[in-house]
Structure 1
Amino acid sequence: MLIRLLRMYLTKYRSLIIAVIALQLVATAAMLYLPTLNADIIDRGVAAGDTGYILSTGGWMLLVSLVQIVCSVAAMYFGAKAALGAGRDMRHDLLHRVNEFSAREVGRFGAPSLITRTTNDVQQVQLLAVMSISILVTAPIMGIGGIAMGMHVALPISWVLVVAVPVLGITMGLIIGRMIPAFRSMQERIDNVNRVMREQITGIRVVRAFVRERYETQRFGVANDELADATLKVGRMTALMFPAVMLITNLTLIAVLWFGGHAVDDGSVEIGSLTAMISYVMQIMMSVMMASFLAMMAPRAGVCAERICEVLDTESSVHSPAVAEEQTADAAIVEFDDVEFRYPGAAEPVLCGVSFTTAPGTTTAIVGSTGSGKTTLVNLIPRLLDTTGGVLRVGGVDVRDQDPDLLRAGIGVVPQRPYLFSGTVATNLRHGRPDATDDELWEALTV
């Protein structure tokens, strides 16, 4: 899912990614070349007392370093631009897909989960994309190039690298393998904290009215503790990763110095070559650490990518007809004809055998206890949900045969909690009577 998602959104920025790869190649090649120049200064300049060679090679090292810095900065800039652009496009598509959902899909995912997927999950994938574009090119080149250059400058002790690199790779693989389920659990618990917090903010008046503050505090505390436990579990494994890398790196350096010292003593390796070998060991281990850092982020980003793709791949249960029909009667006529609605997996329908007609200029009251289906019935009219049985007509035409946008454009809703979704108070008041004067608006407000 992660690779599919990154390929889908990074393809648009192919030219930037190609530029990043080219710049990283130059920067990494320059980095690998520097220890060899340093070895030449020691072996040919310092050992021979040739000041001119030291100055000329030192100047060449400064030029190579400048090229490396410029290329690295430019690569990070272009890489960040591509990754952040992909994140923006991802959030855009998620928002539009969620706006297409019916109440059934929103209920299936839950508003807190949709919020987390659009914000935190996209941020994790975006962060991985930023790191991948830069590290994914640098780490392999630096690792493989470091091994090759290390074998070139000090072949007798290069076997140390052949042993150390696989050991480090296996250690990182074992740690990262345990992190994947922990990251999935952590994202689910973030959803849970968002859900509890959202419910408490929305129902704060009811909580206070029934003196439920202590209960809600405990409820949030449980969700918060579960998230903390999951985060600590991930944190412990993350904390184990870097000491493991440093331990293997330091043991490798000790082996290089030990066996390299004997090689220098018997004349098979020069001092400058040993110094270069140490630099290459550090570069190789740095490349493995960079790859490990990327691999550490990949499990969480992979879980987030699965959650994002789940939303993007979900189609709304409310579809627009291939050919929309126009209303044949007064749009104010709403007719329920033996309407039934059943939620997916429910044993019993919420609404069953509902039949009535509302005429223009009249008021119809839907009365019932909590949970009797009043809101569900109203949601059927603008097709926030689709009937599972019977026929619902608005303006004499089945709502499933009408364009949803045109259908909803003719429906005004006054929610129980008044708020402005768009426009001003005046434009919302004029929804029912576009030609209303200011005096009439003030009269309506007074009422």
Structure 2
Amino acid sequence: MLPRLLRTYLHPYTGLLVCVLVLQFAEVMASLYLPTLNADIIDKGVATGDTGYIWRMGAFMLGVSLAQGVCTVLATYLAARAAMSMGRDLRGEVFDRVSGFSEREISAFGAGSLITRNTNDVQQVQMLVMMSATMLVTAPFMALGGIFMAVTRAPGLSWLIGVSVPILLVAVGLIVGRMLPLFRSYQDRLDAINRVMREQLTGIRVIRAFVREGAETERFEGANTDIARVGERVGQLFVLLFPLVMLVLDVTIVGVIWFGGHQVGDGDVEVGTLIAFMSYLMQILMGIVMASFMTIMIPRAAVCAERISEVLATPPTITSSPDAVDTFPTPGTVEMRDVTFVYPDADARVLAEVSFTVQPGTTTAIVGSTAS
């Protein structure tokens, strides 16, 4: 559901997304180029005492950094514009569909759930688009580019990448896999707490009249406790992810310093190259970290997209006939013959074989929400 929803509502903003992709690619290329320039300054400037080379390359690095910053700002602005526009269109589409629902569809979804789907659920999808355009796009560029540059600069240390990256991917995959059902449960409980709150606000006079404040407080506390427990379990997995990533990162850095130090001592690797390799390794693992952060958002957004699609795919049961009579040239009589009314899935009919006539200038009403 999520890819189909994004494909449909992001299509008008393809141009903005293409510009974001180009700018993010330029930003990543600049980020990958900076460690190489830094290594050259160390190996060719600091090691040889060439102050002029240090100043020239330092000024060039500053220019590359400024270009990188400009690309980042423009990419973020365009990504935000595309994401917010998509969210606006999606909310409008859901609102239009819900506005045509009859009591049957509203009861099936629940008023609280419909409010959540048009606010929180749309916001989750909108946030996914925003973060994907700013982080998820750069993650593969940074990881793959970092691997290529690191292997090119120091082939003898590339085996450390082959060990740390798979370990990190497996750990992230296991944690994210456990989060998916929790996100679905969290959204259901968010529906429940919105439903309880809405019912209490709507029926506040009845609650006070029958002195039911205590019971309603306990009811809200139950729904509030349920969502808090699910949120705690999601948080426990979430806080486990980043320490695990940092542990793998730190152990890998220690390995680079240990084995790279021996190669520097043997003259196989220069100091600047070792520092550049460490920078590329940081970029590789940070790319994986950014991707892992996005994989946490994707399951929740997928659940929200499915819930939104359910609303958009539900046709109203009560629609106007193309040949319906909506104007009367002269006052006339409305007559009902053997009219029957029944609620969906009800065991018995509420009204059965009712016949009546409404004369001009008179009013006939069926009183009561249950047609009693």
TM-score w.r.t. the length of structure 1 is 0.80
Q: Which residue of 1 aligns with 2:89?
A: 89
Which residue in the other structure is 1:254 paired with?
Answer: 254
Q: After superposition, where does 1:176-215 map in structure 2 within 5 Å? A: 176-215=176-215
Counterpart for residue 263 of structure 1: 263
Structure 1 stretch displaced more, 235-244 or 323-332: 323-332
Partner of 2:228: 228
Determine helix, strand or coil for the equivalent of 2:336. Answer: strand
Task: Give CA deviations for 1:256-296 in whole Å, capped at 9, x if unaligned.
Answer: 11111111122211111110011111111111111111111
Shift of 1:324: 3.7
Give the corresponding residue for 1:71. Answer: 71
* Cross-structure match for 2:59: 59
Change in 2 beyond 3 A, CA 1:215/1:119: same
Cα distance in structure 1, aligned partners of 2:83 and 2:289? 22
State the alpha-carbon separation in 2 of the partners of residues 191 and 342 from structure 1.
Answer: 28
- 1:12-56: CA deviations, max 9, x gaps? 111111110111111100000000000011111111111111111
* 1:351 CA displacement: 2.2
Instruction: Name the residue aligned to 1:169.
Output: 169
Identify which of 365, 370, 373 aligns with 2:371: 373
Amino acid at match of 1:110: G
The corresponding residue for 1:336 is: 336
SS in 1 for 2:231: helix
For 1:36-185, what aligned pairs fall within 5 Å after superposition?
36-185=36-185
Shift of 1:347: 2.0
Tell me: CA distance 1:196–1:34, structure 2 relative to 1, closer, same or farther (3 Å). same
1:167 is displaced (CA, Å) by 1.1
Match of 1:275 in 2: 275
Q: What is the aligned partner in structure 1 of residue 243 from structure 2? A: 243
Aligned equivalents of 1:257, 1:40: Cα separation in 2: 19
Q: Name the structure where helix makes up a greater proportion of residues.
A: 2
Q: Which amino acid aligns with 2:74?
A: A
SS at match of 1:347: coil
Q: Residue 337 of structure 1 aligns to a residue in which SS? A: strand
Partner in structure 2 of residue 288 of structure 1:
288
TM-score (norm 2): 0.96
User: In 2, Cα distance between the equivalents of 1:217 and 1:362?
Assistant: 46
Looking at structure 1, the residues matched to 29 and 331 of structure 2 have their Cα atoms a distance apart, in angstroms, of 72
Give the Cα separation in 2 of the matches to 1:52 and 1:365. 93
SS in structure 2 opposite 1:158?
A: helix
What CA distance in whole angstroms lies between the structure 2 residues aligned with 1:352 and 1:56? 92
Matched residue, 1:383 = none
Q: CA deviation at 1:364?
A: 3.6
Q: Which residue identity lines up with residue 358 of structure 1 in the other structure?
A: V
Question: For residues 220 and 76 of structure 2, what CA distance do their matches in structure 1 show?
Answer: 40
SS of aligned partner of 1:339 = strand
| Bigger Rg, structure 1 or 2 | 1
Greater relative contact order (CA < 8 Å, ≥ 6 in sequence)? 2
Any idea what SS the aligned residue of 1:316 has? coil
Secondary structure, counterpart of 2:344 in structure 1: coil
**Distance in 1 between residues matched to 2:273 and 2:332, nearest whole Å:** 89
- State the distance in 2 between where 1:229 and 1:336 align: 54
Task: Output the amino acid matched with 1:147.
Answer: I
SS of alignment partner, residue 356 of structure 1:
strand
CA distance in structure 1 between the aligned counterparts of 2:366 and 2:20, rounded to whole angstroms: 62
Q: Does 1:302 align with 2:302?
A: yes
User: Residues 34 and 129 of structure 1: is their aligned pair in 2 closer, same or farther, counting only changes over 3 Å?
Assistant: same
Q: What letter is aligned with 1:227?
A: I
**Letter of the 2:306 counterpart:** E
Aligned letter for 1:111?
A
Give 1:355's aligned amino acid.
S
Map of 1:427 onto structure 2:
none
Aligned length: 372
Give, in angstroms, the shift of residue 326 of structure 1.
5.5
For 1:178 and 1:354, the matched residues in 2 are separated by 56
One-letter amino acid of the counterpart of residue 193, structure 2: V
Distance 1:231 1:63 in 2: 45
- Write the letter of the residue equivalent to 2:183: F
Tell me the residue number matched to 1:415.
Answer: none
CA distance in 2, matches of 1:336, 1:293: 62
Q: Which has the higher mean CA deviation after the structures are superposed, 339-348 or 136-145?
A: 339-348
SS of 2:137's partner is helix
* Partner SS, residue 143 of structure 2: helix
Give a deviation string over 1:382-427, Cα, whole Å, max 9, x none: xxxxxxxxxxxxxxxxxxxxxxxxxxxxxxxxxxxxxxxxxxxxxx
